[in-house]
Amino acid sequence: MALLLGMLLALLAPRLAADEIIGPLSAVGSDTLAGPMLHWGDRLVERHPGVRLQLQASGSSSAPAALTAGTARLGAMSRPMNDLERQAFIARHGYPPVELKVARDALVVIVHRHNPLESLGRRELDAIFSESRRCGAEHGVERWSQLGGMLPGDRIVLHGRNVASGTHDLFRRRALCGGDFRVRLNEHPGSAAVAAAVAAEPSSIGFVGLNHLTAGVRALQLHDPQGRVVSPTPRAVRRGDYPLWRYLYLYLNLPPGSALTAPEHAFLELVFSPQGQAVVEELGFVTLTEERLMQQRDWLASLPMAE
């Protein structure tokens, strides 16, 4: 009887421990990742009612500063941390932040739904959005009529993300060859605002994350380096064929050899689970490959258990 009772308690112990996970989960960073973060937080609270996600979605550039200052342990970013941000973190803490990939996404160039333009090459895109034209265009493009065909002659109105956004920085580096945006770019704090502005103005063009397409706008096809025209479909993003695909990241302030808190561990288990990746797909992003998920699950399993 005692042996049977002992076996029963051993089986119940993990469940009892899981049910006792409580505490705050603090994250700072990307507006693009706000949707997945909040949905993952809701799913986590369903499993562990004692956990509370505290999310400040003020842009990717806020994540490295918060991690370095120690005001947050989780940083959500829609771009990789740059060298200056990483070195500032290392200088403060003596070790690098942990980088985790949580989803794939794409930067999508959008026009008004009635705009007949179908695709753009990199030089054309750079000539529209940038003064510096580092991608090789001879002249800037300021009116739709310069692109030929049946396009209207109205002056092109530019919309995009603000400088705090990882989307802004990544578009500048990848689409503008590291050049500078035109000063007349209308900057918005979120991709939803960009899509709404383009939908309201027939002569406008903008860039947003893949999951912010609406009925009022159309996504343009882009030319890859070989000149092929590629649409921003989930398959093209997952295969890396679409020129402006990207990973979405979580960065952790985790000293080498130390354990995650129980809420952090439970949160990351959820993110890398089939249920967590289903959230990614539901919200219009692109799931990670199974190989990538397994690598990160193995890393999570290798960490010491929190006391």
Q: What angle do CA 45, 209, 265 make, to 5 degrees?
A: 30
Q: How far is CA 215 from the centre of its chain?
A: 22
Task: Tell me what percent of the residues of the chain surpass a pLDDT of 70.
Answer: 92
What pTM does this model have? 0.86
pLDDT in tens, 254-290: 999 999 999 999 999 999 999 999 999 999 999 999 9
Please give the pLDDT value at position 20: 76
Which pair of structure tokens corresponds to residue 288? 């990670």
- DSSP strands (E only) in the chain: 22-29, 50-56, 74-77, 98-112, 119-120, 157-161, 186-188, 204-209, 217-219, 221-223, 229-230, 245-252
pLDDT on residue 14: 45
Q: Residue 110: beta bridge partners?
A: 206, 219
In whole angstroms, what separates CA 43 from the centre of its chain?
19
Residue that wins the pLDDT comparison between 305 and 125:
125
> Residue 136 class from Cβ within 10 Å (0-12 exposed, 13-18 middle, 19+ buried)?
exposed
What was the pLDDT predicted at 154?
86
Residue 32 to residue 59: CA distance in whole angstroms: 8
Q: Which residues contact 56 (CB under 8 A, 6 or more apart)?
A: 27, 28, 29, 62, 66, 72
* Average pLDDT for the chain: 91
pLDDT at residue 212 in the model? 93
pLDDT over 60 (residue 216): yes
> Quick check: 19 pLDDT over 60?
no
Burial class (CB in 10 A: 0-12, 13-18, 19+), 17: exposed
Instruction: Choose among 167, 151, 170, 158: nearest CA to 127.
Output: 158
Nearest to 169 by CA among 36, 64, 54, 289: 64
Q: Which phi and psi angles does 231 have, rounded to 5°? A: -90, 150
Q: For residue 151, what pLDDT is reported? A: 74
Main-chain phi, psi angles of 132, to 5 degrees: -80, -25
| Residue pLDDT, tens place only, 25-61 | 999 999 899 999 999 999 999 999 999 889 999 899 9
pLDDT in tens, 172-208: 999 999 999 999 999 999 999 999 999 999 999 999 9
Q: Which two tokens stand for residue 258?
A: 């130390």
What domains, with CATH codes, occur in the chain?
A: 21-104+247-302 (3.40.190.10), 105-245 (3.40.190.10)
Per the structure block, which two tokens stand in for 138? 């001879």
